[in-house]
């Protein structure tokens, strides 16, 4: 039941949305239900004690206790594995839970991790937590291969980056990073939250582990939190020194996910609820259509803002002026739906945001609604000025997460707000 159905419709030749909207149905063929039920049972009981023993000892894929797995969670995991063309997946209560659990269970004191210096604020904060546990951390400019090469040490275990960072939209060259990691057996961990699998095939570009916030584009409707880690199957875990012997009894491809599941999901407990699974899977059905719309509108907005006299600079990887324009073109179907801009110095960014009528002033991204946020005094406030400057964040910078509204309404909203400033 937990295995992916291999009927022709789930065949890899089929398009993204065809696979996605039929995935649950094909994993639940007995009843014909198109949605997987939200299983609320915490415990799973067996007529024969031997069957429960088999679950505990990994010989059976059935369930024992909902903190570790449920039939509902398995279906979402299978769907994610299929969409990412990976080997296996685990889902979590939030994106941060997926990320922190992965790192805390695969790293140990004395290891070294290289982080991109262009990362989500909470991930940046987490790097400090890792340091407190005796894990060495370096945050570097991953757009420079020279900087990556110089940062690699004999104890480097992981290289972590986001595909498109926010708010400045630096793009990571995943293939180039893979080439630098491979000779040293460094695990390439890619946060693809900004570019879900519809936009970017992380597996084919060489990512080893994908971590993602399902809260953003995947769910898309601002009503549910979730996260996932996907093992793409690219890394040979026989070369990784931190896998515990207990988890080495199966196919080496399963080792890392098993350790993350047992040490991380089971022992730390950030499990995704079955109700959240349902909301995520319903929300995700329109992922491709939402991204088509949001990315195309983001591109138009970037071009509009770029020529406006009250805008100093626009950051969007679809603009020819963007430093990684060519990489973004090669890697992604579209260069994302996040853009940032600096107003001319005479305009206060808070005053501008206060004039917006359609666009909401809110944190979060990947929503159906377009959201604007002044980043320095909010999501990047805690890290301080020096770190913001290292990330290329100007104090008056505004980030836009472009939703699915009609593009003309968004342009008009921004125009009227600029006129009033």
Ligand X SMILES: *Cc1c(COP(=O)(O)O)cnc(C)c1O
* Chain residues in the site for ligand X (CB under 6 A): 94-96, 120, 123, 162, 191, 193, 213, 215-216, 225, 227, 365
The three-state DSSP-derived secondary structure of 85-106 is CCCEEEEECCHHHHHHHHHHHH
Min. distance of Cβ 153 from ligand X in angstroms? 25
- Smaller CB separation from ligand X, 376 or 417: 376
Q: What span, in angstroms and rounded, lies between the C-alpha atoms of 18 and 30?
A: 21
Q: Which two tokens stand for residue 409?
A: 């309404």
Give 252-306 as a DSSP string: GGGHHHHHIIIIIIIHH--PPPHHHHHHHHHHHTTHHHHHHHHHHHHHHHHHHHH
Min. distance of Cβ 46 from ligand X in angstroms? 34
Helical spans, DSSP H, in 57-94:
71-83
- Smaller CB separation from ligand X, 71 or 366: 366
Min. distance of Cβ 340 from ligand X in angstroms? 14
Min. distance of Cβ 364 from ligand X in angstroms? 8
Q: How many residues does the chain have?
A: 421
- Smaller CB separation from ligand X, 66 or 172: 172
Q: Which residue is nearest to ligand X (CB)?
A: 95
Whose CA is closest to 399, among 378, 421, 371?
A: 371
Min. distance of Cβ 21 from ligand X in angstroms? 23
Rounded to the nearest 10°, the torsion over CA 411, 284, 121, 275 is: 130
- Smaller CB separation from ligand X, 95 or 283: 95
Q: What span, in angstroms and rounded, lies between the C-alpha atoms of 159 and 180?
A: 10
Q: Which two tokens stand for residue 385?
A: 């000025």
Upstream peptide bond of 167 is cis (omega within 30 degrees of 0):
yes
- Smaller CB separation from ligand X, 222 or 252: 222
Min. distance of Cβ 185 from ligand X in angstroms? 25
- Smaller CB separation from ligand X, 23 or 100: 100
Between the alpha carbon of residue 411 and those of residues 266, 342, 350, 355, the distances in Å are 47, 16, 18, 13
Min. distance of Cβ 381 from ligand X in angstroms? 16
Whose CA is closest to 367, among 252, 218, 204?
A: 218
Would residue 273 be called left, alpha or beta, if left means φ above 0 and alpha means ψ between -120 and 50 degrees? beta
Min. distance of Cβ 99 from ligand X in angstroms? 6
Phi, psi of 414 (to 5 degrees): -65, -40
- Smaller CB separation from ligand X, 160 or 255: 160
Strands, DSSP E only, in 172-274? 187-191, 209-213, 227-231
Q: Which two tokens stand for residue 297?
A: 């509108």
Min. distance of Cβ 29 from ligand X in angstroms? 31
Q: What span, in angstroms and rounded, lies between the C-alpha atoms of 75 and 70?
A: 9
- Smaller CB separation from ligand X, 74 or 193: 193
Min. distance of Cβ 172 from ligand X in angstroms? 12
- Smaller CB separation from ligand X, 87 or 216: 216
CA-based diameter of the chain, in Å? 75
- Smaller CB separation from ligand X, 10 or 106: 106
């Amino acid at each position: 039941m937990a295995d992916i159905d291999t009927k022709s419709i789930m065949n890899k030749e089929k398009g993204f949305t065809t696979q996605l909207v039929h995935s649950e149905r094909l994993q639940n063929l007995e009843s014909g239900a198109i949605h997987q039920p939200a299983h609320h049972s915490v415990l799973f009981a067996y007529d024969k004690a031997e069957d429960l023993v088999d679950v505990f000892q990994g010989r059976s894929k059935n369930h024992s206790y909902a903190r570790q797995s449920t039939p509902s969670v398995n279906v979402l995991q299978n769907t994610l594995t299929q969409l990412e063309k990976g080997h296996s997946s685990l889902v979590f209560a939030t994106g941060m839970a997926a990320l922190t659990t992965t790192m805390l269970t695969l790293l140990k004191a004395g290891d070294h991790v290289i982080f991109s210096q262009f990362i989500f604020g909470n991930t940046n904060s987490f790097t400090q937590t890792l340091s407190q546990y005796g894990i060495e951390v370096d945050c570097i400019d991953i757009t420079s291969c020279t900087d990556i090469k110089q940062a690699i040490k004999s104890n480097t275990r992981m290289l972590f980056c986001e595909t498109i960072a926010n708010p400045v939209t630096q793009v990571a060259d995943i293939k180039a990073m893979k080439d630098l990691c491979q000779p040293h057996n460094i695990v390439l961990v890619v946060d693809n939250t900004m570019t879900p699998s519809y936009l970017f095939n992380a597996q084919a570009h060489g990512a080893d582990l994908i971590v993602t916030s399902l809260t953003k584009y995947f769910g898309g409707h601002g009503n549910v939190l979730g996260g996932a880690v996907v093992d793409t199957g690219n890394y040979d875990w026989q070369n990784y020194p931190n896998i515990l012997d207990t988890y080495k009894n199966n196919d080496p491809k399963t080792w890392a996910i098993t350790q993350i599941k047992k040490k991380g999901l089971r022992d730390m407990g950030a499990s995704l609820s079955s109700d959240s699974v349902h909301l995520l899977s319903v929300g995700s059905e329109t992922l491709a259509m939402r991204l088509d719309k949001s990315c195309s509108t983001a591109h138009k907005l970037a071009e509009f803002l770029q020529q406006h006299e009250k805008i100093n600079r626009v950051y969007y990887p679809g603009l020819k002026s963007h430093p990684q324009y060519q990489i973004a073109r090669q890697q992604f179907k579209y260069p994302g739906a996040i853009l940032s801009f600096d107003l001319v110095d005479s305009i206060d960014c808070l005053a501008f945001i206060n004039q917006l009528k359609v666009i909401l002033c809110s944190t979060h991204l990947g929503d159906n609604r377009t959201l604007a946020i002044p980043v320095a005094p909010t999501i990047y406030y805690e890290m301080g000025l020096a770190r913001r400057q290292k990330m290329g964040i100007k104090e008056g910078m505004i980030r836009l997460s472009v939703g699915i509204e009609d593009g003309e309404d968004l342009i008009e909203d921004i125009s009227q707000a600029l006129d009033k400033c």
